[in-house]
């Protein structure tokens, strides 16, 4: 049912697989999860629900947080690093014009950076595996 050689630019994440496979199987997706089925996109249907933003974090490279919001990607790097100059600095990339994330455009887009910072703060759940700086330090 999926057209051969079809492509999609729909931003999605691993947590979207469970609701997608649940829908393929005709089963209900579990309640309380963040995933959205992307089956409509696979089938070429226009009524695809989309994430407002995708948030993730991981301890590699000294601890990182990231948000994908439309064409924008905001990243904090080296949050756990003892030698970090500014572990709360958000780098911003326009993925439509800079897929390689080579030009940080945060200074030119303070409103986008503020929205991404807000998503990072709202989405963050404290964890011993990711001992990032206390949340009260996240807003300057």
Q: 99-112, pLDDT tens digit by residue?
A: 999 999 999 999 99
Q: What residues of the chain score a pLDDT lower than 70?
A: 81-85, 87, 133-140
Handedness of CA 126, 140, 79, 123 (dihedral sign): positive
Residues 6+ apart with CB under 8 A from 16: 35, 36, 37, 38
Side-chain half-sphere CA neighbours of 52 within 13 A: 7
Q: What is the pLDDT of residues 35-61, one digit of tens each?
A: 999 999 999 998 999 999 999 988 777
Beta strands in 32-117 (DSSP E): 54-58, 64-69, 72-76, 91-94
């Amino acid at each position: 049912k999926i057209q051969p050689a079809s492509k999609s630019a729909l931003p999605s994440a691993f947590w979207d697989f469970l609701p997608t496979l649940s829908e393929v199987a005709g089963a209900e997706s579990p309640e309380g999860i963040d995933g959205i089925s992307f089956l409509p996109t696979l089938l070429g249907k226009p009524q695809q629900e989309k994430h407002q933003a995708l948030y993730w974090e991981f301890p590699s490279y000294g601890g990182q947080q990231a948000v994908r919001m439309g064409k924008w990607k905001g990243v904090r790097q080296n949050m756990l690093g003892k030698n970090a100059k500014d572990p709360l600095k958000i780098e911003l990339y326009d993925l439509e014009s800079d897929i390689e994330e080579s030009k940080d455009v945060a200074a030119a887009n303070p409103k986008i950076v503020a929205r991404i910072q807000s998503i990072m703060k709202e989405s963050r759940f404290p964890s011993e595996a990711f001992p990032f700086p206390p949340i009260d330090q996240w807003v300057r």
